[in-house]
Homo-oligomer: A and B are copies of this chain.
Amino acid sequence: MRIPNHIGIIPDGNRRWSVKMGLTKEKGYNMGLYPGVKLFKMCKELGVKELTYYGFTMDNTKRPSIQTKAFTNACIKAVEMLAKEDASLLVVGNTDSPMFPRELLPYTKRKEFGKGGMKVNFLVNYGWEWDLYNIASNKSSIKGSIKNSICYYLNSYDVSRVDLIIRWGGMRRLSGFLPVQSIYSDFYVVDDYWPDFKPEHLHDALSWYDKQDITLGG
């Protein structure tokens, strides 16, 4: 089976899961922690080289503060859990804003944990405009191949092209997830909510990806 080098994860449906369980909306975020680590271990075993989790976006922080606090805390815990594994970890997001949690500042330079290995990126207080904005500051340096240069000047420059994006929770939209790196990504949607993660979700996504014809426009 052809395994994607880089998988993007959009772990959506936490609030809808909470409502389904009769809980208040913010309760679902912590239920996504175990699935996140489980998925990391499965990808490592399969030989995936890079994994990017969509933590939260600058747009998401417009939500009620009880929810904002809950997903921020869940992201902090998730990153701390991944830092106990063997991984090359990086948190990417707008650190100039008060919505970026101070606890995650030490992770904003890529660092090897344990024996290192798979690159794991975690988007925290990420914004697509923020990501592209840096292009504007580097006009004089952008020469030669436009394509390579633009990728180099993204704020997310250390995140590679994504081969497969898996979104939980049934929505068929990218919601600002790495617009440049996802140009040619294959997009697989799981209807179940993220806290209801099952290993079959990943297996099904990979079987589907194995059948896709990758042309990159050629």
| A interface, CB within 8 angstroms of B | 57, 59-60, 62-63, 128-130, 132-133, 135-139, 142, 146-147, 150, 153, 171-176, 179-180, 182-188, 212-213, 216-218
Contacts and interface: CB of A to CB of B under 8 A. Distances in A.
Contacts of A136: 135-136, 138-139, 142, 150, 153
Contacts of A135: 132, 135-136
18 contacts: A59-B218, A62-B218, A63-B218, A128-B180, A129-B146, A136-B142, A171-B186, A172-B186, A172-B187, A173-B185, A173-B186, A174-B174, A174-B182, A174-B183, A175-B217, A179-B179, A179-B180, A187-B187
A163 to B, nearest CB: 10
Given A63-B218, A139-B139, A174-B183, 14 more contacts: A59-B216, A62-B217, A62-B218, A129-B146, A133-B142, A133-B146, A133-B150, A135-B136, A171-B212, A173-B187, A174-B174, A174-B187, A176-B183, A176-B217
Nearest to A57: B217
A153 B133 CA distance: 11
A78 to B, nearest CB: 19
Question: 4 smallest A-B Cβ distances: which pairs?
Answer: A59-B217, A179-B179, A129-B146, A136-B139
A175 B213 CA distance: 13
A93 to B, nearest CB: 14
A183 B128 contact: yes
A142 B129 CA distance: 12
B188 A183 contact: no
A56 to B, nearest CB: 9
